[in-house]
Amino acid sequence: MSLGLIFLAVWLMQTAAGPEQYQYFRAAMGSPLGKILLIGWTFAFFLHLGNGIRHFVWDTGRGFEKSQANASAWAALVMAIALTAGFWVLRF
């Protein structure tokens, strides 16, 4: 996610630099490698979100048993996969 933040800053700088510079960035992110990176960052964001929710529940004092902790870990992973897939399917 830290590397993605750098790309976000570059995107903002290219946008501010004008349409010609922005097109170079768009072409790079539109390439197969760029799309893989964007999908990976989307997955990382949703996984981070899912684990944040998981830790929020832990802050209430629930979910510390091994079976519950394992179930919440799997739930966060499945949620991240589903939200990433949904985001990219709806995007196109």
Is the sign of the CA dihedral 72, 55, 87, 43 positive or negative?
A: negative
Q: What is the largest CA-CA distance in the chain?
A: 55
pLDDT tens digits, one per residue of 1-37: 889 899 999 999 999 999 999 999 999 999 999 999 9
**Alpha helices (H) along the chain:** 2-17, 19-30, 32-59, 66-91
| Cβ neighbours of residue 33 closer than 8 Å, sequence gap 6 or more | none
Angle between helices 2-17 and 19-30 (to 10 degrees): 150
Domain limits, the chain: 1-30, 32-92
pLDDT beyond 80 at 92: no
- What's this model's pTM, rounded to 2 decimal places? 0.87
Give the model confidence (pLDDT) of 31-59 as tens digits: 999 999 999 999 999 999 999 999 999 99
